[in-house]
Structure 1
Amino acid sequence: MQKQNPENLIPLVKELERYIALKDKRNDAVSKSDVAWQIDHSLKVLNLVTNSIIHSNPEDYKWRFNKWRLLLFTLGYIPRGKAKAPKIVKPPEVITLDDLKAQVQLAYNNVERLKPLNKNASFTHFVFGQLNRDKTIQFLKLHTNHHLKIIKDML
């Protein structure tokens, strides 16, 4: 398996950060949410997943085949509207500029925290199952790109 570099997440966080200025834009033909929702959700996922994997026990990791992980990670694509965001990563009703900026800074810090992790540090996703460090980084790239594409289509 190809080693995933956490540094590859930095340009994605920077891109999310650039869209903050357009946070109130919406396009109901593309999404029921606004740009702020997409940014907030993406950052919540990145930050909470990072926190989860950092606090995992590498000895608990066990690889298991998962057809959805194989298919979607190979395609590099998450289809729209097929999964609902878990409550913990749903944005609040009011998303403030200060909160988005704080989450961006936390995301930059969390990318750094991914670098020294054991290859078997893991995160369990509700569809893709248990993901080791490299698959978690791959998931974060896939997920963030998914929401960046939605933002671009909205604008």
Structure 2
Amino acid sequence: MTTLQELLQQIESHIPQFEKMNPAVSQSTVGWQLDHSLLVINGVITQLKSATPENYKWQFKWIRIYIQITNTIPRGKVRAPKTVTPVKVASTEDLKAKLEQAKKNIAELESLPPNSYFTHPFFGNLNLKATIWFLKLHTKHHLRIVNDIINKG
């Protein structure tokens, strides 16, 4: 099983190729994909840390169930919310700083209550366990795009 730390190592290994682009795969660069992934990780964990666990309520969402069963995010079907859309081209320094913050945030996950949660725009409320699943799935999705940008040139 891939851990979030292992996924961060993969992100780190791709930072030197941040300017690479392949319009046949994506209109964005490797750097955009990495930046978006790090913005999501850091933003979601920040929400988890500020959540009130007593307020967590599980919600049935068919789209979440479908994605959990297929364990994949379809490409090109959804646009990233503005809060996690990079607004400028990140430099290697920016990416490294966000990566270091993500490492710290991920290390803090173990100390959070199980009903810490964040509200996903499509999946609804995700508790700690479901959030970790989502972060892995989302990061793997963008790393696959990164690998395709790099390798299908």
Task: Tell me if both proteins adopt one fold, taking TM over 0.5 as the criterion.
Answer: yes
Partner residue of 1:65 out of 60, 68, 82? 60
Task: Measure the CA separation in 2 of the matches of 1:64 and 1:39.
Answer: 30
Distance (Å, rounded) in 2 between the aligned partners of 1:94 and 1:69: 31
Contact 2:32 2:89 in 1 (8 A): no
What pairs up with 1:31-46 in 2 under 5 angstroms? 31-46=26-41
Give the whole-Å Cα distance in 2 for the aligned partners of 1:144 and 1:28. Answer: 20
Is 1:23 paired with 2:18?
A: yes
Please state how far the C-alpha of 1:58 moved relative to its aligned partner.
Answer: 0.4
3-state DSSP class of the match of 1:138?
Answer: helix
Hey, what's the Cα distance between the residues in 2 that align with 1:46 and 1:64?
22
Q: RMSD of the alignment, in Å?
A: 1.2
How far apart in 2 are the matches of 1:115 and 1:71? 27
Q: What residue identity is the alignment partner of 2:43?
A: L
The corresponding residue for 2:133 is: 138
Summarize the alignment of residues 106-121 of structure 1 with structure 2, pairs less than 5 Å apart: 106-121=101-116
State the percentage of identical aligned residues.
45
Identify the residue that residue 83 of structure 1 maps to in structure 2: 78
Where do 5+ consecutive residues of structure 2 fail to align?
A: none
Counterpart-to-counterpart distance in 1, 2:9 and 2:18: 14
Matched residues in 2 for 1:64 and 1:36: separation? 34
* Matches of 2:88 and 2:67, distance apart in 1: 30
Segments of 5+ residues of structure 1 without an aligned counterpart are none
Distance 1:150 1:96 in 2: 19
Pick from 91, 95, 103 the counterpart of residue 100 of structure 1.
95
- Cα distance between partner residues in 1 of 2:45 and 2:75: 23
CA contact (8 A) 2:31 2:89 kept: no
Give CA deviations for 1:3-56 in whole Å, capped at 9, x if unaligned: xx9x81000011001000100111000000000000000000000000001110
Instruction: Give the letter for the 2:27 counterpart.
Output: K
How far the C-alpha of 1:94 sits from its partner, in A, is 2.4
Letter in 1 for 2:11: L
Question: Does the CA contact (< 8 Å) of 2:117 and 2:128 recur in 1?
Answer: yes
Name the aligned partner's letter for residue 38 of structure 2. L
Name the residue aligned to 1:127: 122
